Chains A and B, each alone.
Chain A
Amino acid sequence: MRYELDPVRVRKILGNKKQFIMGDMAIAYGGLLAGVGFFGGYPITPASEVAEGMARMLPRAGGTFIQMEDEIASMAAIIGAAWSGTKTMTATSGPGFSLMMENYGYAIMTETPCVIANVQRTGPSTGQPTQGAQGDMLQTRWGSHGDMMAIALCPSTVQECLDMTIESFNLSEKYRHPVVLLADGEVGHLREKVVIPDVDEMELFERIEATVDKDKFIPYSESQTNPGSKVPDFPTFGSGYRSYVTGLTHNDMGFPATDKQPDHERLINRLVSKITDDREKLTDVEEIELEDAEVVFVTYGASARPAESAVRMARAKGIKAGMLRLKLVWPFPEKAIYDLSKKVNKIIVPEMSLGQMVHPIREFAAKDCEVIVAPKVGGVMHLPVELLEYLEEGA
Chain B
Amino acid sequence: MKKEIQVAGFGGQGVILSGFIIGKAACVFADLNAVQSQSYGPEARGGAAKTAVIISDETIGYPRPTSIDVFVAMAQEAFNSYLPDCRDDTVLIIDPDLVTQSDVGRPIYKVRVQKIAEELGNKIVTNIAMVGALTGIYDLGVPDEAVKQAVIDSVPKKFMELNINAFEKGLEAGKNARPE
Q: Can you give 20 A-B contacts (C-beta < 8 A)?
A: A18-B28, A20-B20, A20-B24, A20-B34, A20-B36, A45-B42, A129-B42, A130-B39, A130-B42, A189-B37, A190-B36, A191-B20, A192-B34, A192-B35, A193-B34, A302-B63, A305-B62, A305-B63, A383-B62, A384-B66
Say whether B90 faces chain A, with CB atoms less than 8 Å apart.
Answer: no
Question: Contacts of B37 on A, CB cut-off 8 Å?
Answer: 186, 189-191
The 8 A-B residue pairs with the shortest CB-CB distance in the complex, in nearest-first order: A20-B24, A193-B27, A191-B36, A309-B61, A309-B62, A20-B27, A306-B62, A308-B61
- Closest B residue to A383 by beta carbon equals B66
Q: Please, how many angstroms separate the alpha-carbon atoms of A193 and B34 in the complex?
A: 7
Alpha-carbon distance A191/B33, docked complex (angstroms): 11
Interface status of B165 (Cβ within 8 A of chain A): no
A-B pair number, CB within 8 angstroms: 61
Nearest to A382 among chain B residues (CB) is B62
Q: Which residue of B23, B37, B40 has the most chain A CB atoms within 10 A of its CB atom?
A: B37
> What string of 1s and 0s marks CB contacts (under 8 Å) between A36-76 and chain B?
00000000010000000000000000000000000000000
Residue B41 is within 8 A (CB to CB) of chain A in the complex = yes
Assess whether A258 is interfacial by the CB under 8 Å rule: no
Instruction: For residue B2, give the distance in angstroms from its CB to the closest CB of chain A.
Output: 12
Report if A269 contacts B (CB, 8 A).
no
Residues of B within 8 A of A20 (CB): 20, 23-24, 27-28, 34, 36
User: Quick check: is A261 within 8 A (CB to CB) of the other chain?
Assistant: no
The CA-CA distance from A312 to B33 in the complex, in Å, is 19
Complex-state Cα separation, A308 to B59, whole angstroms: 11
The residues in B between 153 and 180 inclusive whose CB is less than 8 angstroms from any CB of A are none
Tell which of A130, A191, A384 touches B35, judged by Cβ atoms closer than 8 Å: A191
Contact B34 A130 (CB under 8 A): no
Q: Are B62 and A381 in contact (CB under 8 A)?
A: yes
> Which chain B residue shows the least CB distance to A17?
B28
Give the Cβ gap from B115 to chain A, nearest Cβ, in Å.
30
Q: Number of contacting residues on A, CB 8 A?
A: 23
Cβ-based interface call for B102 (8 A): no
Q: Which residues of B contact A193 (CB under 8 A)?
A: 27-28, 33-34
For B54-66 the 0/1 string (1 means CB < 8 A from A) is 0000001111101
Q: CA of A381 to CA of B37 in the docked complex: distance in angstroms? A: 12
Given the complex of chains A and B, what is the CA–CA distance between A129 and B43 in angstroms?
12
Complexed CA–CA distance, A305 and B64 (Å): 10
Cα–Cα distance between A201 and B67 once the two chains are bound (Å) = 39
Contacts of B63 in A (CB 8 A): 186, 190, 192, 302, 305, 381
Chain A residues with CB under 8 A of B35: 190-192
Question: Within the complex, what minimum Cβ distance (angstroms) separates B24 from chain A?
Answer: 4
With an 8 A cutoff between CB atoms, is A16 at the interface? Answer: yes
**Which B residues touch A381, using CB under 8 A?**
62-64
Check A139 for interface membership: any CB of B closer than 8 A: no
A302-B60 Cα distance, complex, nearest whole Å:
12
Interface centre among A19, A130, A191, A381 (most CB of B within 10 A): A191
Q: Which of B33, B39, B41, B61 contacts A305 (CB 8 A)?
A: B61
Closest Cβ of chain A to B113, distance in Å, is 23
Minimum C-beta distance from B152 to chain A (A): 13
Report how far A222 CA is from B38 CA in the complex, Å: 49
- Chain A residues with Cβ below 8 Å from B61 are 305-306, 308-309, 312, 384
- Which residues of chain B are within 8 angstroms of A130 by Cβ–Cβ distance? 39-42
Interface set, chain B 6-61, CB cutoff 8 A to A = 20, 23-24, 27-28, 33-42, 60-61
Output the nearest chain B residue to A18 by Cβ-Cβ distance.
Answer: B28
Closest residue on chain B to residue A45 by CB atoms: B42
- Specify which of A45, A192, A312 lies most central, judged by the most chain B CB atoms within 10 Å of its CB: A192
Complex Cα–Cα for A92 and B42 (A): 17
Residues of A near B41 (CB, < 8 A) are 130
State the Cβ distance, A184 to closest chain B Cβ, in Å. Answer: 12
Beyond the given A381-B62, A381-B63, A384-B61, please list 14 additional residue pairs across the A-B interface where CB-CB is below 8 A.
A16-B28, A20-B34, A130-B42, A189-B38, A190-B36, A190-B37, A191-B36, A192-B27, A192-B60, A193-B34, A306-B62, A309-B61, A312-B61, A384-B62
Q: How far is the CA of A294 from the CA of B144 in the complex (A)?
A: 47
CB distance from A46 to the nearest CB of B (A): 11
